[in-house]
Structure 1
Amino acid sequence: MPELPDVEGFRRVLASCAKGRVVRRVDVRDTGVLHGVGTRGLRDALEGRRFAEPERHGKWLLARTDGPTVLLHFGMTGLLLPAGPGDAVEAHDRVLFTLDDGRQLRYRDQRKLRGLWLAHDDLDVDRLLARLGPDALTVTRDDFETALRARRGALKTTLTDQSVLAGLGNLLADEILWRAGLRPDRRARDLTPAELRRLHVQLGRTLRPAVTAGRVPPRPSWLTGHRDDPDPACPRCGTHLRRTRMGGRGTVWCPRCQPDGD
């Protein structure tokens, strides 16, 4: 599932391939990924427009132009890919943006759980993103601590709640909690000030290299490098990792490195 680092990678693709380029044609191959706008409306709004500097908030990509903004959410299987004029169109390429140099940007999504929205102005953008919390990559420590202190739920479900903090998914939440030495089922509001500070530090230390990699990297020294092993062990202490489900998500943690907080 694309998380914040993946979407930041898509933002860089958009910036490098399309910034300053004019949209010559919009081809919608599957209207099932369009929300609040039809094929004609999307074409009329974008064709002839020039892409500006793209932005990202959490898992949302804002493809800004000199007019409207296209907001893209990638769900579980979405991608934004560059393509050359002669590249074959794949079965799951849902929307194609052809630029004035002949290249294309392609929104590809197998499962079609989210898709594209059209915002005509900044008020539309704000309305579509109104329920999101602060971006996980840029959130200040004060805002982070305030958001978590107000939550009664478990840490794992709190961190992956996009209304609390935008951008974290399953892999990142498990990785950050493991690094911070906090069990995923601890209640967010029960953390001590020192634990909240430690969690915020590990948030940044996890996200920055992941953003550089453009994904949550399955490195041997990371929890994510072992969670799918047949008999997973903690890369820090060698203890057998525990598995459970929280909020419908597969959750992995180390009982030694992430002890009970009682």
Structure 2
Amino acid sequence: MPELPDVEGFREVLMTCGRQRCVTDVEVRDTGVLRGVSAQRFRRGLKGRRLGEGWRHGKWLFVPVDDGGRVLVWHFGMTGSLRCCAPDEPLAPHDRIVLTLDDSRHLRYRDQRKLQGVQLADDAQVARITDGLGPDALTLSGAELRKLLSGRRRAIKSALMDQSVIAGLGNLLCDEILWRARVAPRTPARDLSDPRFGVSTRGWAGSLRHPCAPGACHRVVPGSPGTGTTASRHVLAAGGPCARTASADAARSGAPSAGNERSDRSPVSERQWDDGRRHKATAVRGSRCESGAVPPL
């Protein structure tokens, strides 16, 4: 499912391919991805218009058009992506909308499952969308995160994934953040106010920005081959495999592992850590992360 780093990547695709470009043609190949707008009105609202500076809030991407009152709004659901393609590149089976730009390139919205989609909104509609969202995750400091979550009884992972609390985080990214922070997913959110979790919140900004940084493990690779389930490819950087997961794998198999001493404990219990690690082990195993010991499993 596209999450904050994916949508940030789609924004970069849009800025590289479509910023200040005029839309010369609009092909709606599947009206099932349109939300609140007919195909005819969608074409009329975009054809001959120039795309402005795109901006993102959480998992939503907003692109003003030059008529001064309309915004192209994208939500990528579970399988959506935005692709910049040459005009002679064959259409994919799940290319639902094709915008032809004044340099002949195509901006294609590709979506297999069509759970969300595209709309042409006015300022009031955009305000209603953003008013229902919490602050964008990339704008929060550790202190702001702690304040936002203080008093919440629900599990930390559930709170982080609630878009009305914090916008932009999904299942995989929450697992990555909690793995780096050494916090079990079932830990009550209000426990982050405990001084023991200071290291977790202090590391929030770095953990969250890491997937969006050049060369990081979570980055969008536009046009990657695959089934279209997501545009995100969790790419191993040149630094090699994740040292912590390698250490955990060695510990699980009973093999000795450097730096895996029992004295290096996280604030959560070993049982909680085991539950949290197994909850999404397959997601974090392929990504690069900071080196460090992991409690024995």
Where on the TM-score scale, by shorter chain, does this alignment land: which range?
Answer: 0.7 to 0.9
Tell me which residue corresponds to 1:154: 155
Q: 1:119 Cα shift? A: 1.2
- What is the letter of the counterpart of residue 5 of structure 1? P
Aligned to 1:177: 178
TM-aligned CA deviation for residue 129 of structure 1: 2.0
Flag the 1:61–1:236 CA change in 2: closer, same or farther, 3 A: farther
Provide the C-alpha distance between the structure 1 equivalents of 2:46 and 2:38, rounded to a whole number of angstroms: 12
Greater helix fraction, Structure 1 or Structure 2:
2
Range with greater deviation from structure 2 (201-210 or 3-12): 201-210
Mapped contact 2:95–2:108 kept (Cα < 8 A): yes
Deviation at 1:226, TM superposition (A): 10
Largest Rg, 1 or 2: 2
CA distance in 1: counterparts of 2:187 and 2:152, whole angstroms: 11
Give the residue type in structure 1 aligned to 2:210: P
C-alpha RMSD over aligned residues:
3.3
Q: How many residues align?
A: 251
CA displacement at 1:141 relative to structure 2: 3.7
Q: Return closer, same or farther for 1:245/1:204 CA change in 2, 3 Å cut-off.
A: closer
**% same residue:** 45
Q: Which residue of 2 aligns with 1:17?
A: 17
What TM-score results when the alignment is normalised by the length of structure 2? 0.74
Residue 166 (str. 1) matches residue 187 (str. 2): no
Match of 1:105 in 2: 107
Q: Which TM-score applies when normalising by structure 1?
A: 0.83
Distance (Å, rounded) in 2 between the aligned partners of 1:194 and 1:25: 57
Measure, in 2, the Cα distance between the counterparts of 1:165 and 1:232: 38
Q: Which amino acid aligns with 2:96?
A: R
Partner of 1:70: 72
Aligned match of 1:7: 7
Query: Which structure: greater strand fraction?
Result: 1
Q: Distance in 2 between matches of 1:117 and 1:236?
A: 52
1:176–1:143 CA distance, 2 compared to 1 (3 A): same
SS at match of 2:139: coil
Equivalences for 1:205-244 in 2 at 5 Å?
205-212=206-213, 213=216, 214-215=219-220, 217=234, 219=236, 220-221=241-242, 237=260, 242=274
The answer as to whether partners of 2:31 and 2:39 remain within 8 angstroms in 1 is yes
Structure 1: 5+ residue runs without aligned partners?
Answer: none
Cα distance, 1:235 vs structure 2:
11
